[in-house]
Amino acid sequence: MPRRPTFAAWLSDTNDVTQTFLSAGQIPGLINMAGGLPDPVTWPVGELAELARRAVAEHPGDALAYPPIEGLPALRDLIAARFSAPGLALTRENVLITTGGMQGLDLVGKVLLDEGQVIATQSPAYLGALDAWKPRRPTYRPMRLEAADFVAEPAFRGAQFAYAVPNFSNPTGRLVGLDQRRTLVAAAEATGTWLVEDDPYGTLHYDGAPLPRMLTLAGQNRAYDGPVIYLGTLSKELAPGLRVGWVIAAPEMIRAMVTAKQGSDMSTPGLSQRIALDAFASGLTERVLPATLTLYRARRDAVCRAMGEHLGDLYDWEVPSGGMFVWATARDPGLNTDRLLRVGLTHGVCITPSSVFDPEGRNRRAIRINFTLNDADRLAEGVVRLAAASKAVLAECLAPAN
């Protein structure tokens, strides 16, 4: 048989971590603390079933026809109203509906990146964002926002865009403070560089009140035309399977993304959009949220308590005030967390190693632990297994190489 054409060059830069995760799904009794999955008990199944029926029966034009590329006008209007704030005037022209938050990241890459251009990214960074931009083989300029000597303007200058997850970052769970949010927005305004505010976890805050969005801080008391590109999603607020997200940005950015979305999937399913519209408009998302927060707050507390008991000698971490993850850094640099992923599987626990979140692929010393999917007992048992697996990896380091 003649040789087939080679795949596009970016596909050769893959790691086998994803494959390891997939195979992990087959292990019986495994405690999965690797993903970013919600607990299905948080879904209002009965109400969503009725919304789904009514979406088709009463709004077949919305649910079954090709929706406008930009999204259903009523949903765009609702998102614009929902995210407007004093000083921030949003209209339909600022909003694009996407197929999940992930598509927002894909479209950012499609409209802003030519091969090899620079992205200034909060580091460690969301794996999905790195995946989305990989086809353009960008150059990363990592920003360690927590470093005392971090200065935003030089990091932003010359980058096509800067990327941050200010609310309970994936993977670190870190909350970017108000002063630093202002600093990042000011750097975007001073340099002209776009600032992507990826905010899937903004509603999942367990302690205290939410901080203003960078989008809001970039409001100008006139029709919004600022540098912040805000990415939102229904996945954490309601249910991920609907795949509804949204981009809020300057109209010129929305128009460019509409061109890119047309050639990506034409439009986001109208049925999902109509359900999202009705779920927001009927207050369903607000009614569901308190129980979700109570559940996840207790699990956050449970996993951190268990970590204190079993992992205190091995790792350092901060208790996150929201989101889905605890980020733990091994005290011993010999605790290679790529290896821990594999050894963990033999102990019946799965975590995500830091290497996949490092734009430069070097950090092998930390892990991301999810606490939203499993109940307190499973979390505690998972931490016990993780402690045993970590000790096993450390023991390997000391053993003579074979």
Tell me the closest approach of the beta carbon of residue 198 to a copy of itself, in angstroms. Answer: 14
Question: Which position among 151, 178, 223, 266 is part of the footprint of a copy of itself (CB under 8 A)?
Answer: 266
Question: Which position among 76, 92, 110, 299 is part of the footprint of a copy of itself (CB under 8 A)?
Answer: 110
Tell me the closest approach of the beta carbon of residue 330 to a copy of itself, in angstroms. Answer: 28
DSSP 8-state secondary structure symbol assigned to residue 194: E
262 counts as binding a copy of itself under rule CB under 8 A: yes
Omega prior to 124 cis, within 30 of 0:
yes
In the region spanning residues 333 to 362, those forming contacts with a copy of itself, defined by CB under 8 A, are none
Print burial letters for 127-157: b (CB count within 10 Å at least 16), e (below 16).
bbbbbbbebbebebbbbebeeeeeebeebbe
Distance CA 181, CA 209 (A): 16
How many residues make contact with a copy of itself (CB under 8 A)?
83
Beta-sheet strands, E only, within 25-80 = 31-32
Cβ neighbours of residue 98 closer than 8 Å, sequence gap 6 or more: 104, 107, 231, 244, 245, 246, 247, 261, 268
Establish how many alpha carbons lie within 13 A of residue 99's alpha carbon, considering only the half-sphere containing its beta carbon.
Answer: 16
In the region spanning residues 285 to 324, those forming contacts with a copy of itself, defined by CB under 8 A, are none
Phi then psi for residue 117, to 5 deg, are -70, 170
Tell me the closest approach of the beta carbon of residue 102 to a copy of itself, in angstroms. Answer: 4
Contact between 249 and 230 under an 8 Å Cβ cutoff? The reply is yes
Tell me the closest approach of the beta carbon of residue 5 to a copy of itself, in angstroms. Answer: 5
Question: Which position among 20, 84, 264, 321 is part of the footprint of a copy of itself (CB under 8 A)?
Answer: 264
Q: Which stretch binds a copy of itself (CB under 8 A): 111-119, 201-209, 340-348, 391-399?
A: 111-119
Contact between 359 and 290 under an 8 Å Cβ cutoff? The reply is no
In the region spanning residues 114 to 143, those forming contacts with a copy of itself, defined by CB under 8 A, are 114-115, 128, 131-135
Question: Which position among 60, 73, 154, 210 is part of the footprint of a copy of itself (CB under 8 A)?
Answer: 60
Distance CA 38, CA 26 (A): 20
23 counts as binding a copy of itself under rule CB under 8 A: no
Contact between 372 and 324 under an 8 Å Cβ cutoff? The reply is yes
Omega prior to 171 cis, within 30 of 0:
yes
Tell me the closest approach of the beta carbon of residue 126 to a copy of itself, in angstroms. Answer: 11
178 counts as binding a copy of itself under rule CB under 8 A: no
Question: Which position among 24, 31, 33, 62 is part of the footprint of a copy of itself (CB under 8 A)?
Answer: 62
9 counts as binding a copy of itself under rule CB under 8 A: yes
Phi then psi for residue 230, to 5 deg, are -95, 130
Tell me the closest approach of the beta carbon of residue 120 to a copy of itself, in angstroms. Answer: 11
Nearer to a copy of itself, 165 or 330 (CB): 165
265 counts as binding a copy of itself under rule CB under 8 A: yes
Tell me, letter by letter, the H, E, C secondary structure of 24-37.
HCCCCCCEECCCCC
Q: Which stretch binds a copy of itself (CB under 8 A): 64-72, 163-171, 319-327, 331-339?
A: 64-72
192 counts as binding a copy of itself under rule CB under 8 A: yes
377 counts as binding a copy of itself under rule CB under 8 A: no
In the region spanning residues 207 to 246, those forming contacts with a copy of itself, defined by CB under 8 A, are 227, 235, 239-243
Contact between 126 and 198 under an 8 Å Cβ cutoff? The reply is yes
77 counts as binding a copy of itself under rule CB under 8 A: no
Interaction pattern, residues 145-174, with a copy of itself; x per rule: CB under 8 A: --------------xxx-------------
66 counts as binding a copy of itself under rule CB under 8 A: yes
Q: Which stretch binds a copy of itself (CB under 8 A): 143-151, 261-269, 320-328, 388-396?
A: 261-269
Question: Which position among 50, 286, 316, 377 is part of the footprint of a copy of itself (CB under 8 A)?
Answer: 50
Nearer to a copy of itself, 36 or 344 (CB): 36
Cβ count near 293 (within 10 Å): 16
Q: Considering just the CA atoms, what is the radius of gyration of the chain in Å?
A: 22
Q: Cα separations (Å) of 186 from 116, 167, 180? A: 26, 18, 10
